[in-house]
């Protein structure tokens, strides 16, 4: 079977053991003993996991596996009951989300959070960090922030063009389609010039044509050296862009590895993919499936 | 024709006089503060009258207790309003929006009841209120108290004219301040927090701090409404600051259009014009016997005017839910 992953050689992850909690050569995020329970339900219980810098890590798992909770814990939107997290080698336990964002760890949300009554361009400009005019008294005096604001706007316009949203620049964000909102949210996150970006189901509800361009953008992020972690259910997407896949089930990390090893991992198949999954997992399987369908159709014609 | 007996000229004079009068200015200023809270920052403040009261008492007490210069007394009102905002905001702004709403409505009543309580009689003079603070302010009045000032049919006595002028000046400056701020990156963050707090957090904005700043700003503006009212009426009366007043400020804001910078001023003018017009017309209809006393007696006119305002508001919500200045386009976005 061919290796489907894109840059396993370049990522520095070649030859790493495919087991949960494996140490990586250059981790940007390290999680230790993280546990979060809601009442009696343990949503997240991760012993140890490392996220490699500069690669795309896919986080998959069945519904209710704790993926989004894990995201919330990593980005400060929720606090773990126990455990420690480091980002760029610094402990970030209990750090609030806005501080983490300033330190270069930003996220997007499963349900897009467009600022509907702000124009698209204002949505973008909001993403920029350390804006002088965002301080109350500076805000009163336009000369103090106008020049910086123009720079921010220029950068925003460039990103809008790259994400093909420039024609919507002056529209309210609320008028965008679901897919465009996903694009806007990603572009907006990039305005903060992050080192790591966490995308919660970036492709959900996006039409197939747009999916391709979104995938392209995610790969571009990696090319720029940004670490990407994303949650996704579409296995085609996971195969297409992830260098490394982490599988969660019932709050725990049950498997890690390149896409090709994950899809044949028995624990993953049992917990998530199943033996009769809806979508084919690789090319040979897809071809087999098509042949099967054609055979059925053929039989149907003979009966007529 | 029965309606010929009505003195329309008088009614319009009265309406115009109230439309640009002291009350209209006070309501406009209070609503500007509320606009900062709700229109821009999305904070549900149901106790704006508390800020109005705290501003008035802060200024009044600065004179009666500490004998401060009027400028410092105004600063006193500002400081009181800011402290009140901190007291309300620090415990609640980390929580969901509802908590601020609950706390503000209760806190406004606490302020009023405290001010009129016998326990604080030596400080706030209980239900009598503060009556001996206005002297130093009046010294700055360039207008003759015994003369009437105004344009056309609209005229006020010198002392009132001074207060009205100051009132609209404050309103204008407040609008200018809000307009400047909301066009700045600071305003962008505040509006973003209104739209979605988590999104703002994820983009590195300290939502709590911005909400606190907005609460203080709107509260101080509300405090100015109290100060203008107190100077204009030469008294700080605890029972003026009753809870329903907050909802009239809301009414003013909604008429004008939530989140629009001029809305409170126009909203307040419309509100006072409407109230005065209905009241005067009602009185004359009863006085002239056009409406028989078996249907409505003179004492009921004052209640009827609020019915009419209620009906007018209902009609506004049906035909122009975004208010006078609001944009239908923005309104439609909420439904998406």
With contacts defined as CB-CB under 8 Å, which chain A residues touch B198?
A: 77, 97, 109, 113
Q: Is A225:A189 a contact under the CB 8 Å cutoff?
A: no
Residue B282 structure tokens? 């009602």
Cα-based angle A222, A226, A227 (whole degrees, multiple of 5): 90
B75 is a domain residue: yes
Which range marks the domain in which residue B37 is found? 2-326
The Cα of B89 is separated from the nearest Cα of chain A by a number of Å equal to: 17
CATH number of the domain bearing residue B317: 1.10.3470
The Cα of A15 is separated from the nearest Cα of chain B by a number of Å equal to: 35
Residues 6+ apart with CB under 8 A from B198: A77, A97, A109, A113
With contacts defined as CB-CB under 8 Å, which chain A residues touch B336?
A: 116, 174-175
The Cα of B121 is separated from the nearest Cα of chain A by a number of Å equal to: 39
A202 close to B (CB below 8 A)? no
A113 close to B (CB below 8 A)? yes
Q: Which residues pair with A84 in a beta bridge?
A: A32
Q: Could you say which of B180, B192, B217 has the minimum Cβ distance to residue A115? A: B192
Predicted confidence band at A1 (pLDDT cuts at 50, 70, 90)? very low
Provide the CB-side half-sphere exposure for B38 (13 A, CA).
25
Q: What are phi and psi of B100, to 5 degrees?
A: -60, -45
B332 is a domain residue: no
Tell me the per-residue pLDDT of A28-72, one tens digit each, with 9 for 90 and over.
999 999 999 998 889 999 999 999 999 999 998 888 888 999 999
How distant, in Å, are the alpha carbons of A180, A231, A295 from that of A228?
20, 10, 42
- pLDDT confidence of residue A3: 41
B268 is a domain residue: yes
Between A118 and B296, residue with greater pLDDT: A118
B51 is a domain residue: yes
Q: Could you say which of A102, A139, A174 has the minimum Cβ distance to residue B204? A: A102
Please answer yes or no on whether A140 and B181 come within 8 Å at the CB atom.
yes
- pLDDT confidence of residue B241: 92
Strand-strand pairing, A196-200 and A227-231: parallel
A170 close to B (CB below 8 A)? no
- pLDDT confidence of residue B336: 53
- pLDDT confidence of residue B77: 95
As a whole number of Å, the end-to-end CA separation of chain B is 53
Residue A98: closest C-alpha in chain B: B204
Between B232 and A1, residue with greater pLDDT: B232
Residue from B204, B218, B335 to probe the interface with A (highest A Cβ count within 10 Å): B204
With contacts defined as CB-CB under 8 Å, which chain B residues touch A75?
A: 202
- Write the ipTM: 0.83
Predicted confidence band at A10 (pLDDT cuts at 50, 70, 90)? low
Please answer yes or no on whether B202 and A139 come within 8 Å at the CB atom.
no
- pLDDT confidence of residue A5: 43
Residue A276 has pLDDT above 60, yes or no: no
As a whole number of Å, the end-to-end CA separation of chain A is 39
Predicted confidence band at A303 (pLDDT cuts at 50, 70, 90)? low
Tokens 């100015």, residue? Answer: B224
Q: What are phi and psi of B33, to 5 degrees?
A: -60, -45
Query: Order of strands across the sheet with A252-257?
Result: A105-107, A196-200, A227-231, A56-60, A244-249, A252-257
Output b/e per residue, A237-260; b: 16+ Cβ within 10 A.
Answer: bbbbbbbbbbbbbbbbbbbbbbbb
Cα-based angle A219, A228, A163 (whole degrees, multiple of 5): 50
Please answer yes or no on whether A109 and B201 come within 8 Å at the CB atom.
no
A74 close to B (CB below 8 A)? no
- pLDDT confidence of residue B227: 95
Predicted confidence band at A280 (pLDDT cuts at 50, 70, 90)? low
Which residues of chain B fall short of a pLDDT of 50?
Answer: none
Helices marked H in B35-149: 48-64, 70-92, 97-116, 121-124, 135-138
Query: What average pLDDT does the structure give for chain A?
Result: 85
Cα A144 to chain centroid distance, Å, stands at 36
B179 is a domain residue: yes
Please answer yes or no on whether A113 and B198 come within 8 Å at the CB atom.
yes
Share of chain A above pLDDT 70, in %: 92
- Give me the total of CB pairs closer than 8 Å, taking one residue from chain A and one from chain B: 115
The Cα of A240 is separated from the nearest Cα of chain B by a number of Å equal to: 27
With contacts defined as CB-CB under 8 Å, which chain A residues touch B176?
A: none
Tell me the per-residue pLDDT of A149-199, one tens digit each, with 9 for 90 and over.
999 999 999 999 988 899 999 999 988 888 888 889 999 999 999 999 999
A61 close to B (CB below 8 A)? no
When pLDDT is averaged across residues A70-88 and rounded to a whole number, the result is 92
Beta strand extents in A82-232 (DSSP E only):
82-87, 90-91, 105-107, 196-200, 227-231
What's the total number of domains in chain B?
A: 1
Please answer yes or no on whether A140 and B200 come within 8 Å at the CB atom.
no
Between A291 and B227, residue with greater pLDDT: B227
DSSP string, A39-97: TTEEEEEEEEEEEETTSEEEEE--TTSSHHHHHHHHTTSS--SEEEEEETTEE-TT--H
B336 is a domain residue: no
As a whole number of angstroms, the distance between CA B210 and CA B41 comes to 8
Q: Could you say which of B185, B195, B196 has the minimum Cβ distance to residue A134? A: B185
Please answer yes or no on whether A116 and B195 come within 8 Å at the CB atom.
yes
Residue A273 has pLDDT above 80, yes or no: no
As a whole number of angstroms, the distance between CA A178 and CA A124 comes to 17
Please answer yes or no on whether B185 and A77 come within 8 Å at the CB atom.
no
Those residues of chain B whose CB sits closer than 8 Å to some CB in chain A are 177, 180-181, 184-189, 191-192, 194-196, 198-207, 213, 217, 329-330, 333-334, 336
Q: Which among A73, A13, A78, A77 has a CA at the least distance from the CA of A248?
A: A73
């Amino acid at each position: 079977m061919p290796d489907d992953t894109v840059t396993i050689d370049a990522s520095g992850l070649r030859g790493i053991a495919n087991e949960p909690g494996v140490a990586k050569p250059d981790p940007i995020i390290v999680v230790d003993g993280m546990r979060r329970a809601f009442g009696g339900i343990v949503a997240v219980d991760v012993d140890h996991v490392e996220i490699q810098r500069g690669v795309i890590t896919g986080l998959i798992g069945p519904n209710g596996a704790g993926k989004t909770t894990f995201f919330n814990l990593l980005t400060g939107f929720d606090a773990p009951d126990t455990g420690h997290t480091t980002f760029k080698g610094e402990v970030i336990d209990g750090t609030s989300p806005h501080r983490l964002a300033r330190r270069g760890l930003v996220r997007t949300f499963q349900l897009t959070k467009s600022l509907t009554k702000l124009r698209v361009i204002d949505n973008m400009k909001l993403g920029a960090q350390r804006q002088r005019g965002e301080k109350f008294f500076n805000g009163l005096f336009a000369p103090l922030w106008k020049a910086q604001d123009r720079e921010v706007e220029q950068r925003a316009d460039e990103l809008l063009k790259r994400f093909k949203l420039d024609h919507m620049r002056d529209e309210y964000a609320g008028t965008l389609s679901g897919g465009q909102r996903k694009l806007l949210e990603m572009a907006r996150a990039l305005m903060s010039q992050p080192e790591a970006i966490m995308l919660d189901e970036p492709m959900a509800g996006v039409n197939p044509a747009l999916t391709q361009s979104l995938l392209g953008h995610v790969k571009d992020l990696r090319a720029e050296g940004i670490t990407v972690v994303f949650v996704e259910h579409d296995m085609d997407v996971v195969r297409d862009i992830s260098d490394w896949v982490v599988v969660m089930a019932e709050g725990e990390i049950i498997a890690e590895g390149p896409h090709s090893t994950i899809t044949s991992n028995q624990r993953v198949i049992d917990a998530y993919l199943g033996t009769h999954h809806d979508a084919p997992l690789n090319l040979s399987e897809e071809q087999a499936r098509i042949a099967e369908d054609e055979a059925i159709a053929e039989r149907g014609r003979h009966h007529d | 024709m029965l309606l010929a007996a009505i003195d329309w000229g008088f009614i319009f004079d009265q309406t115009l006089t109230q439309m640009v009068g002291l009350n209209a200015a006070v309501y406009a200023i209070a609503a500007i503060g509320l606009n900062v809270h709700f229109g821009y920052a999305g904070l549900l403040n149901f106790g704006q009258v508390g800020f109005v009261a705290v501003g008035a008492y802060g200024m009044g007490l600065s004179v009666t207790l500490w004998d401060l210069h009027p400028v410092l007394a105004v600063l006193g009102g500002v400081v009181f309003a800011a402290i009140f905002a901190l007291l309300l905001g620090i415990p609640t702004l980390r929580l969901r929006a509802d908590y601020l709403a609950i706390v503000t409505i209760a806190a406004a009543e606490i302020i009023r009841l405290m001010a009129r309580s016998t326990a604080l009689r030596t400080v706030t003079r209980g239900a009598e209120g503060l009556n001996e603070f206005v002297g130093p302010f009046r010294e700055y009045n360039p207008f003759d108290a015994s003369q009437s000032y105004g344009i056309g049919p609209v005229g006020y006595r010198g002392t009132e004219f001074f207060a009205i002028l100051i009132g609209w000046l404050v309103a204008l400056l407040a609008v200018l301040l809000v307009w400047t701020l909301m066009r700045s990156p600071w305003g962008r963050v505040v509006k973003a927090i209104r739209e979605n707090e988590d999104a703002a957090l994820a983009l590195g904005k300290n939502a709590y701090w911005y909400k606190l700043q907005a609460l203080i700003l709107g509260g101080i503006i509300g405090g100015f409404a109290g100060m203008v009212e107190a100077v204009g009426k030469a008294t700080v009366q605890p029972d003026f600051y009753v809870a329903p007043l907050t909802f009239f400020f809301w009414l003013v804001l909604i008429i004008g259009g939530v989140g629009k910078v001029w809305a409170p001023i126009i909203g307040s003018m419309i509100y006072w014009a409407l109230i005065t017009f209905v009241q005067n017309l009602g009185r004359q209809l009863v006085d002239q016997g056009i409406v028989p006393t078996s249907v409505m007696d003179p004492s009921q006119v004052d209640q009827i005017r609020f019915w009419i305002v209620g009906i007018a508001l209902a009609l506004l919500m049906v035909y122009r839910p975004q208010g006078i200045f609001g944009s239908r386009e923005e309104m439609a976005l909420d439904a998406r």
